[in-house]
A = this chain, B = another copy of it.
Amino acid sequence: MSDDLRARLRGKGYRLTPQRELVLRAVEKLRHATPDEVYAEVHADSSAVNISTVYRTLEVLEELGLVKHAHLTDRAPTYHAVDDHEHFHLVCRNCHGITSVDPTVIAAGTQRLRDEYGFEPDLGHLAVFGECAQCRAEREENTQS
């Protein structure tokens, strides 16, 4: 487990450190987490990791392809582990709820982007903003103009 991580790191001249392992485990555990949340999670395990190390580590892990980030809010980016099956996100502007969606749902469109624009989309990074079913329903109830 940790040997795989070590091998990946070594492949690019990096070293395996306790901090790097802790950060990766935190991202895997939290599923979707901002750097701050990763920092908090790692701190919970007492053996503190500095916030700047969290940032530096997330950068390294992303370079290795072990984590990815997407912008699910107007503020901080959200990181998730890559070994989860690839997915993109629906983000509700109103309730801020997040729904993970399988890429096949928009496969027709992504294929056209490839065919017609030569563009290879990175779906793991994709966040589609809008309004979720529940918030639409609630809003329509209150809109009896």
Interface residues of A (CB under 8 A from B): 71, 74, 77, 90, 92-93, 99, 101, 105-110, 112-113, 116-122, 125-126, 128-134, 136
Contact = CB atoms under 8 A, between A and B. Distances in A.
A113 B128 contact: yes
Chain A residues touching B, majority SS: mixed
Contact of A106 (B77, B109, B130): B109
Nearest to A126: B128
Given A74-B77, A105-B112, A113-B105, A118 B130 contact: no
7 contacts: A74-B77, A101-B117, A105-B109, A106-B112, A109-B109, A122-B128, A122-B130
